[in-house]
Amino acid sequence: MAKARIGVLISGRGSNMAALVYAAKRADCPFEIVLVAANDPEAGGLALAEAEGIATWAQSHKGMKRAEFDALVDAQLRAARVDYVALAGY
């Protein structure tokens, strides 16, 4: 059975995301992290995700309307074919 594809949304250090990333390394884990997205391009968790070979995307939400920013995030999640979204400190 294929593993569930997870997109993780972060806004900072990524400590919650890190727990998910390390859990996904277990052979019996039913999911894989396929995208880490942040509303802050300087979010520290992005570096960890990149170091682990996980695709990342970041865009500042400042100055944008909520619906406009949410549409950008949604497009990235759909492009990565995400099954579920984890809000890890987002």
pLDDT tens digits, 15-31: 999 999 999 999 999 99
Sign for the CA dihedral angle at 10, 15, 19, 25 comes to positive
Q: Average pLDDT, stretch 40-50?
A: 96
β partners of residue 9: 37, 87
Per-residue confidence (pLDDT) for residue 11, from 0 to 100: 92
Per-residue confidence (pLDDT) for residue 57, from 0 to 100: 98
Q: Residue 4 has what DSSP assignment?
A: E
Per-residue confidence (pLDDT) for residue 21, from 0 to 100: 96
Per-residue confidence (pLDDT) for residue 88, from 0 to 100: 85
Q: Residue 2 has what DSSP assignment?
A: P
Mean of all residue pLDDT scores within the chain = 95
What is the rounded distance in angstroms from the CA atom of residue 5 to the CA atom of residue 30? Answer: 9
Q: Per-residue pLDDT for 46 more than 90?
A: yes
Q: Average pLDDT, stretch 63-77?
A: 96
Q: How far is CA 62 from CA 8, 39, 46, in A?
A: 20, 9, 18
